[in-house]
Amino acid sequence: MEIEGKIVTVMESWPLQLTVQTQTGFYDVVLRLDTQITQNERIVDPGSLHPDLQVRIRGQVSSSNPLAMNAQMIEVLQ
């Protein structure tokens, strides 16, 4: 699954969790140890994620909640 939207909140727990607002609603996104985060085609640290960033996220939807997903890849679009 792929979503695109704006980061609304970053919960600094481990694993890192994001709330992302898309045109169709809010998604809860959990980062994994192997989640790749890129900006301008360069790998960046998870600490660079913050509210108001526009992102594209690819990952697997939770079987128990269609508005939750595990991120495999996060691309920062701003």
pLDDT given at position 78: 72
Six-digit token string for 30: 């959990």
Stated pTM of the model: 0.93
Q: What is the pLDDT along the chain (78 residues), one digit of tens a residue?
A: 999 999 999 998 888 999 999 999 999 999 999 999 999 999 999 999 999 999 999 999 999 999 999 999 999 997
* Dihedral sign (CA 59, 63, 66, 67): negative
Find out whether 15 and 24 touch, Cβ atoms under 8 Å: no
Distance CA 52, CA 7 (A): 5
Straight-line distance from the first to the last Cα atom of the chain, in angstroms, rounded to the nearest whole number: 21
Question: Which option is the CATH number for 2-76: 3.40.50.1820, 2.40.50.140, 2.130.10.10, 2.70.150.10?
Answer: 2.40.50.140
Q: Which amino acid is at 16?
A: L
Q: Which amino acid is at 22?
A: T
pLDDT given at position 12: 82
